[in-house]
Structure 1
Amino acid sequence: MHHDDFKFEPIPGLPEALPEGEHILWQGRPDSLRLAKEAWKMNWVLGYFALLTVWRIGVSSTTVPLSEAMLHGVPFLLAGALAALILFGLATAQSRSTVYTLTNKRVAMRIGAALTMTLNLPYVQIGNAGLKLTKNGMGTLAFELLGDTRLSYMMTWPHVRPWHFNPSQPAFRAIPDAARVAAVFADAAETRVAEPVVTRTSTAPDAIAAE
């Protein structure tokens, strides 16, 4: 997943080298077409222009022959195609600038086509995850954060669960083979959270032997 704009990354998708004991389990990015349909509502836009086309043909057919009326609908079809092409281009730019990463210790998301940022979400800060699958196996994996951890919906869109504003839920959007990715996340999170935490405390000096 090399991209010339991110040569400064020691590891693609991560701002710094992984510390000792941490390793990558999975990396991926959104599917451009699926992202255009889900986040940018490309199908709705196409449907809107299709309705405009039918309406224009219907209105024109009352005054001119149907063959001529159909020509009156062509500009609307062309406008719809152009709008869809623009939305697909925006989704493609977002997809190419995005890298989702699962390690054995955290979820990482390098996002942003214009203003790039990296989110690091340790498994201990994630309370739950929800998976929404489509028939072709693509889907969205959203993460519910614990405690006071808050992320801006607008700053992280479209890499968030739709319509969940407060609190927002960061998400892997439109990823292929989403069920397998969710399984990798579940196994890694369960293993990480189950690890015992060893804390070091200061000890009192040895007791002075009784005289």
Structure 2
Amino acid sequence: MSESDFLPEGTLRGLPGPLPAEERILWRGAPTVHGVMLRAFHARLVMLWFAAAAGLLALGAGLSEGPARALAVAGPTLLTGLLALALLWLFSWLVHRTTVYTITDRRVVMHVGIALPITLNLPHAQIESAGLRLFADGSGDIPLQLPPGERVAYLHLWPHARPWRVSRPEPMLRSVPDAHRVAALLAPALAARAAGTARIGEPLVSAPERPKAPAGRLAAAGSR
């Protein structure tokens, strides 16, 4: 039995209920496995740590007992590192498999969680601003800043939270593919809701102009 068995008929995966007739979906997606593994679980640091540990052990054993002993000592450490990377890949795949980000012309819905899934329903009118951090492969992070008083626990969000924003957590669409296009779809939707417009025009696929309304601001945000 899956979680979809408990949802009303006609409900898309990742949504809390059927989509209203007047609401339309702009984009649906999930984090990339590669991005979650590298930037949420820091696989590079894990790999470097095990490589450095294996190198130090091999150096000490090699100087005192020769190359054969150095390989024998470093081997188990390297094997443990490979197993750790395999586990990180598995967790990253599970994050990818269980996450659904949905952007409509009225809200952002984040269905997240591996063991205990939750669904966050974020109306555009309740989003103060959104950021965009692009990576070399075209994927990117889109953090969403909520107004004061609107809080979601950081541990409930992670890894779908902007790093280091613990006192005022920001939900984040993490490592979404083709992030520039996703941002270009979200920006006019936020601007339209900030202006009090019920619907927006056709989704934009090019970089949007910076809206004047605070809730529609979508600017490049680096890691802070």
Please indicate, yes or no, whether the TM-score normalized by the shorter chain is above 0.5: yes
Q: What residue is the counterpart of 1:150 in the other structure?
A: 151
Question: What is the 5 A alignment of 1:1-211?
Answer: 4-9=2-7, 10-196=11-197
Aligned residues: 195
After superposition, the CA RMSD in angstroms is: 1.6
Q: 2 CA distance for matches of 1:141 and 1:196?
A: 23
Q: Which amino acid aligns with 2:94?
A: A
Q: 2 CA distance for matches of 1:73 and 1:50?
A: 9
Q: 1 CA distance for matches of 2:146 and 2:64?
A: 60
Deviation string, structure 1 residues 170-190 (Cα, Å, up to 9, x no partner): 000111111111111101111
* 1:133/1:140 contact within 8 Å kept: yes
Q: 2 CA distance for matches of 1:18 and 1:49?
A: 48
Q: 1 CA distance for matches of 2:36 and 2:73?
A: 32
TM-superposed CA distance for 1:160, in Å, is 0.4
Runs of 5+ consecutive residues of structure 1 not aligned to the other structure: 198-211
TM-superposed CA distance for 1:65, in Å, is 2.0
TM-superposed CA distance for 1:122, in Å, is 0.6
TM-superposed CA distance for 1:4, in Å, is 4.8
* TM value normalised by structure 2: 0.83
* 1:125/1:147 contact within 8 Å kept: no
Instruction: Give the share of equivalent positions with the same residue, in percent.
Output: 36
* 1:108/1:118 contact within 8 Å kept: yes
Q: Which amino acid aligns with 1:93?
A: L
Q: Which amino acid aligns with 1:110?
A: H
TM-superposed CA distance for 1:63, in Å, is 1.5
Runs of 5+ consecutive residues of structure 2 not aligned to the other structure: 199-224
Q: Which has the higher mean CA deviation after the structures are superposed, 87-96 or 60-69?
A: 60-69
Q: Which amino acid aligns with 1:193?
A: A
Q: Which amino acid aligns with 2:116?
A: L
Q: Secondary structure at the match of 1:131?
A: strand
The 4+ residue runs of structure 1 with deviation greater than 6 A are none
TM-superposed CA distance for 1:196, in Å, is 4.9
TM-superposed CA distance for 1:67, in Å, is 3.9
Q: 1 CA distance for matches of 2:6 and 2:151?
A: 28
Q: 1 CA distance for matches of 2:146 and 2:26?
A: 21
Q: Secondary structure at the match of 1:57?
A: helix
- Choose 1 or 2 for highest CA Rg: 1
Deviation string, structure 1 residues 49-86 (Cα, Å, up to 9, x no partner): 00011001100111122244123211111000001111
Q: Secondary structure at the match of 1:168?
A: coil
Q: Which amino acid aligns with 1:22?
A: E
